[in-house]
Amino acid sequence: MDLAEVQLKVQLALLRTFKEEHALFEYRASERSIVHQLALRVRDQFPNFDVDVEYNRESGQGDVKCVHTEPGKRLLKRRRLPDLVVHHREAIGTNSNLLCLEAKTAWSPGGITRLDGDSLKVQALMQTFGYRHGVALELHPYGESRWFTLQEGAPVEVREDDQIKIGTSE
């Protein structure tokens, strides 16, 4: 599935979440509550895939998902739970790992600046587990999003001009 199709499906799921679960945004609910509702709508958009929130296992082996990071010069092995993934649970690699998504609410501590960290996390998850596409997004009807796609084994940021935008005035 190409990036444009994935972007469109995620945007449609986001719009449905904003429309159908507006109280979560009005009351400034937790990120986890909103991502759960988003996952329900993402699942409708990707019927041939599994959609999981904070999935912590690698393929059917049951191994805990870890990402190797290199802060400074030390290599650390850290558990990394993507907020939402679209994948096939029993398989591994780019054919089964379609999308990893990291989300932040606009009202969370650090707000939009936390997307910088989430963008790095998305790229690390993509490179380690072979997700074909990744996105770090702000949970807001007009929120910022940063999309990545895997090219020759490395995540590459998609220019904003090349991203699909769906807006609503409601």
Structural domain includes residue 68: yes
Burial 119-142 (b: 16+ CB within 10 A, else e): bebbbbbbbebbbbbbbbbbbebe
Residue 3 CB neighbour total at 10 angstroms: 19
CATH code of the domain covering residue 149: 3.90.1570
Task: Find the largest Cα–Cα distance for the chain.
Answer: 48
Structural domain includes residue 36: yes
Element (H, E) at 39: helix 31-45
Q: pTM (2 decimals)?
A: 0.81
Element (H, E) at 109: none
Give me the pLDDT at residue 168, please. Answer: 40
- The residues, ordered by sequence, that sit 6+ positions from 41 with a Cβ below 8 Å of its Cβ are 12, 13, 14, 16, 17, 20
Structural domain includes residue 168: no
Structural domain includes residue 164: no
* Domain total in the chain: 1
Strands (DSSP E) contained in the chain are: 50-53, 57-58, 63-64, 66-69, 76-79, 84-87, 97-105, 133-139, 145-151, 154-157
Structural domain includes residue 111: yes
Residue entry with tokens 């939402």: 84
Structural domain includes residue 82: yes
Angle between helices 31-45 and 3-20 (to 10 degrees): 130
**DSSP state, residue 79:** E
**Nearest 10 degrees: Cα torsion 41, 99, 5, 115:** 90
Structural domain includes residue 167: no
Structural domain boundaries, residue 147: 3-159
Structural domain includes residue 166: no
Chain centroid to Cα 96, Å, comes to 15
Which parts of the chain register pLDDT below 50? 71-76, 166-170
